[in-house]
Structure 1
Amino acid sequence: MPELPEVETIRRQLDPLVRDRIIGRVEIPDPTVAAPWSAARFRRAISGKRIQRLTRRGKYLRFELADGETLVIHLRMTGRLTHLERRPGGDRRRHLRLLLHLDDGTFIAFHDTRRLGKAFIIPAGDSRAYWQKLGPEPLGRSFTPARLAKMTAGRDRQIKTLLMDQSFIAGIGNIYADEALFDAGIDPRRPAGKLTQPEITRLHSSIRKTLKKAIRLEGSSIDSYVNARGEKGGFQETFQVHRRQGEPCPRCGHTIEKIRVGGRGTYFCPYCQKL
């Protein structure tokens, strides 16, 4: 699933291309993308609207429209959002779920192999309430070591499962939880409330460092992810532990192991990340 770095990469690439553009024709080859709305209702809601800017909240892309409404796209597992110079045809329409025609003659295409992604509209005035369900942005100013300490205090849940809970912190998934915990030297099974203050401080730093590096390298392409230009990211080339089961730890040389934490495949070094 595209996580914060992948979604932020797409946002940074698309924002200057869609600002002040007007949405013209809206093609919906797969009406389930807008469910429970009908395709006709969805088209009427956004056709002719001007895009003010493209923002991000957690793993969600938000096209903020001039009338105060917001077109939201959640890529989920296999979604791709790309900017095209030409209308896709033939094989390029495979898995196409939504196509926005912009007034400069270009297109925003939403492809999704597994058809799990969604597009929906948040009415004017409802946006603030909707996003309150998400935790803080890990790269935001309000996310400090002190806040992380307060958030984890008294929590019995394993730290990795908590990091991936979008109501706890917005945007972190399996890849970046593994990499940040390794960087901080923390076992993914540790109860969050048992972390010491030095560990909390290290984890806070590792989360931000890992996410910033991944954004700089335009995300991780290990399955279907490509950026808004249709290109693969590069962070997967720098993985320390994720998907490196059986390989030597880059820090101590011992073997990286794979376990399951919270139902998710989890990669870690049992020597560098002691329970």
Structure 2
Amino acid sequence: MPELPEVENVRRGLSALITGKTVAAVGTDWEKILVGGLAAFNQALHGATVVAIDRRGKYLLLRFDNDLTLVSHLRMEGKYQLVPDTDLPHDRFVHVWFTFTDGSELRYHDMRKFGRMRLTDTGTESQVVAGLAKMGPEPTEADFAAAAFYQAVHKRRAPIKAVILDQTVVAGVGNIYADETLWESKLNPAQPANTLTRRETNRLHDAIIATLSRATDMGGTSVHTFVDATGRRGGFQEQLHVYDREGTPCDRCGTTIVKTKVGQRGTHFCPHCQPLRKRELA
């Protein structure tokens, strides 16, 4: 699933490619992706011009000059591609397309068809989209307060990996970056959250900010199918320490990286650097 660094890179690419373009028509061969239906999208967006593209967590927010916002969640496999000519054939995974008045076309590819798009009045996104209503702070120095993070962590008995995957605690962290930030913090993914010390929680807080920022700057992680809106793969996969590296030596201590499950999610960690510590629950 695209996580915050990947979605941010899609946003940057789309901003350069489609800002200022005007929609002539919307098409689909899988209407379930368009919440509210194709007719509603065509009625709302015909003649509307893209004025900006924002992001909140893993959601893209396409802003139009008629005060509407298209909220797009890529889910597992969603990706966008701009083609210069509508005559270019669709591949079998193109399920939504936005034809612009200049003849170009924005195509939404989704192998699993899990992605969703929804139209809202601009400024009401969090009232309409449940995932936005409860979303936690962005993982930046300005928005993500260490003290509030410590309080949120210490209310939970769940494994710390499950807690940082919870989008109400911090926005944008998915499976890849949860594993990586926990390795950076020397914390076991299964460690009960409310047994972490303040120092450990602060270390994890800082690792989340630093790792997601670095991954964003490197174009995201392309361990599976991710490419940005210009078709470029990310570069952060070259710096992964544990994710998808089971059976290889830890970059820090040489111990073999193992894969297990935490909260039904495939989880990678170093058993030496990230021991599960027996502590009394807080």
Which residue identity is paired with 1:216?
A: D
1:256-271 alignment, distance < 5 Å: 256-271=257-272
Three-state SS of the structure 1 residue aligned to 2:60 is strand
Superposed, 1:57-206 pairs within 5 Å as 57-87=56-86, 89-90=88-89, 92-130=90-128, 131-139=132-140, 141-206=142-207
C-alpha separation in 1, matches of 2:242 and 2:87:
38
TM-score, length basis structure 2? 0.92
- Please, what is the CA RMSD of the aligned residues? 1.6
1:16 Cα deviation from its structure 2 partner: 2.7
Give the Å deviation of 1:239.
Answer: 0.8
The C-alpha deviation readout for 1:60-83, integer Å capped at 9, x for no partner, is 110012222210111111111122
In structure 2, what residue type is equivalent to 1:126? T
Structure 1 equivalent of residue 12 of structure 2: 12
> Is 1:159–1:188's contact at 8 Å kept on the other side of the alignment?
yes
State the secondary structure of the residue aligned to 1:93. coil
Match of 1:27 in 2: 27
Letter in 2 for 1:150: Q
Q: Counterparts of 1:232 and 1:274 in 2: how far apart (Å)?
A: 34
Question: Which 5+ residue runs of structure 2 have no aligned equivalent?
Answer: 277-282
> Quick check: 216-225 or 169-178, which moved more?
216-225
How far did 1:179 drift?
0.3
Structure 1 stretches lacking a partner, 5+ long: none
Aligned-pair CA distance for 1:174: 0.3
Preserved CA contact (<8 Å) 1:30 1:96: no
How many angstroms apart in 2 are the aligned matches of 1:173 and 1:251?
Answer: 23
Residue identity matched to 2:159: Q
% same residue: 39
Q: Shift of the alpha carbon at 1:88?
A: 6.1
With over 3 angstroms needed to count, the CA separation of the structure-2 counterparts of 1:167 and 1:76, relative to structure 1, is same
Q: Contact 1:31–1:39 (CA<8 Å) still a contact in 2?
A: yes
Tell me by how many angstroms 1:100 deviates. Answer: 1.1
What TM-score results when the alignment is normalised by the length of structure 1?
0.94
Deviations 1:154-198 (A, max 9, x none): 211111011111222221110000000000111111111221111
